[in-house]
């Protein structure tokens, strides 16, 4: 019941304006003497791990800078010869792509073509596997390449900004296909294709890419598709983008690219951890 009441309340609030406002506040400079105290307080409240940050807390001038922090080198080793988790997250769903259908939550399914914004693209993934990875405010917020390959396209799809927590996933129909998102298409070096879908959410200022200025919550509210003729080459574990606060990544793998292995709902995964096997290991 509380979850439904929250969704009802949010349905009448200006979610995009609220999210832009949150993004603006998160980029306000914090006086230098207060920075360590503010970031440690945030970490205590949400359970973040400030000791993993690449820099001393006092060197993050804003909350957004701390949200999007990089990590100390070596903390997230990338498994060799594997499909790896692109993020630190909690597993929200896992399964096979069957008849264009993914599972959002028990009793709630949605269309892969609607999520990707393309029936043609969705057809590449029929019979493949997918997982939904939820990033909470405590998590490391950067997104990385799950395999080595070439980014061939990225598409911004405007939409709603519902929360992506458990209550919203259970109560909002077609949530991930309704929310703002960026769809990144990656052709794996060893064959096959993967889609990395970065889904926006309420109070997420923006979702940004590392190799392009494409971002969510844009004022130009129309589909924007960028093709990379020269291709953007990424090694497994390379930077793909980041969330300016927590959200969700949906990773979809074509049969030709390999298989995302069985992941328990509610399990915690870390960036670089093995979550699947390529069809044609190097």
54-79 in b/e form (b: 16+ CB < 10 A) is eeebeebebbbbbbbbeeeeebbebe
- 280 belongs to the catalytic site: no
* Nearest of 184, 166, 183 to residue 175 by alpha carbon: 166
R_g over Cα of the chain:
18
Number of other residues whose CB lies within 10 A of the CB of residue 238? 15
For residues 83 and 260, the answer to whether their CB atoms sit within 8 Å is yes
Tokens 């000791």 locate to: 51
Catalytic residue at 19? no
Among 108, 116, 200, residue whose Cα is nearest residue 160:
200
- Closest by CA to 203, choosing from 9, 12, 17, is 17
3-class DSSP state of 246: coil
DSSP state of 57: G
Catalytic pick from 144, 215, 226, 242?
Answer: 144
Whether the CB-CB separation of 166 and 196 falls below 8 Å is answered with: no
- Taking the C-alpha atoms of residue 259 and residue 126, their distance in angstroms, rounded to an integer, is 12
Helix (H, G, I), strand (E, B) or coil at 63: helix
Q: What is the DSSP letter of 140?
A: -
d(CA 179, CA 115): 9
- Give the integer Cα–Cα distance in Å for 133 and 213: 24
- 144 catalytic residue (yes or no): yes
Q: Tell me which of 19, 43, 85, 88 is the catalytic residue.
A: 88
> What amino acid positions are annotated as catalytic residues?
88, 144, 247
């Amino acid at each position: 019941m509380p979850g439904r009441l929250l969704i009802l309340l949010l349905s009448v609030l200006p979610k995009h304006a609220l999210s832009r406002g949150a993004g603006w506040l998160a980029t306000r400079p914090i006086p230098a003497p207060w920075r360590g105290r503010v970031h440690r307080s945030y970490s205590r409240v949400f359970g973040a791990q400030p000791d993993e940050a690449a820099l001393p807390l006092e060197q993050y001038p804003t909350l957004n800078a701390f949200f999007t922090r990089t990590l100390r080198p070596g903390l997230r080793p990338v498994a060799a010869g594997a499909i790896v988790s692109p993020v630190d997250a909690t597993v929200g769903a896992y399964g096979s792509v069957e008849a264009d259908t993914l599972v959002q939550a028990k009793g709630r399914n949605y269309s892969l073509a609607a999520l990707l914004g393309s029936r043609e693209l969705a057809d590449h993934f029929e019979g493949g596997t997918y997982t939904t990875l939820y990033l909470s405010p405590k998590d490391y917020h950067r997104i990385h390449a799950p395999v080595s390959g070439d980014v061939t396209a990225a598409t911004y799809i405007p939409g709603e900004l519902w929360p992506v927590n458990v209550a919203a996933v259970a109560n909002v129909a077609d949530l991930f296909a309704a929310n703002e998102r960026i769809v990144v298409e990656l052709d794996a070096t060893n064959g096959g294709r993967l889609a990395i879908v970065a889904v926006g959410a309420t109070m997420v200022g923006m979702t940004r890419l590392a190799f392009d200025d494409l971002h969510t919550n844009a004022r130009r509210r129309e589909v924007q598709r960028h093709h990379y003729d020269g291709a953007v080459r990424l090694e497994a574990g390379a930077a793909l983008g980041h969330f300016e606060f927590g959200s969700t990544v949906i990773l979809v793998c074509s049969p030709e690219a390999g298989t995302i292995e069985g992941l328990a709902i509610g399990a915690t995964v870390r960036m670089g951890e093995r979550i699947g096997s390529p069809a044609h290991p190097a």
